Amino acid sequence: MIKIYHNPRCSKSRQGLEILENSGKEFETVKYLDTIPSTEELKEVISLLNISPIDLVRKNEKIWKEEYKGKELSDSEIIKAMVGNPKLIERPIVINGNKAVIGRPPETIKEII
């Protein structure tokens, strides 16, 4: 089952959702600001994306700039920051089996569906 971590207020996330809707395939939508991923779930997503936790952080968010920017943080601390402040999680994220992409640009979603 395809899964999209989606923020309806984000234009790129809406574009990613539209790509999935137009694909005709079944998928699950997770509004991650409402249903916050657990630490374990976020670790799994990061592993599927094959990136470091810092690469999933939206570094231009106010909360990041005010509370975390310039600090030396471990991967665990970065994940904890994202779980505690899900606005920091880059979006949209689409997972299909053992493949995952960050939909920036949204067209990259087509690579895994």
> How far is it, in rounded angstroms, from Cα 72 to Cα 78?
10
10 is catalytic: yes
Residue of 3, 10, 30, 99 marked active site? 10
Q: Per the omega criterion (within 30 degrees of 0), is the bond before 86 cis?
A: no
> How far is it, in rounded angstroms, from Cα 98 to Cα 87?
25
Instruction: Give the contacts of 83 (CB within 8 A, at least 6 positions apart).
Output: 36, 37, 38, 39, 42
Active site (catalytic) residues: 10
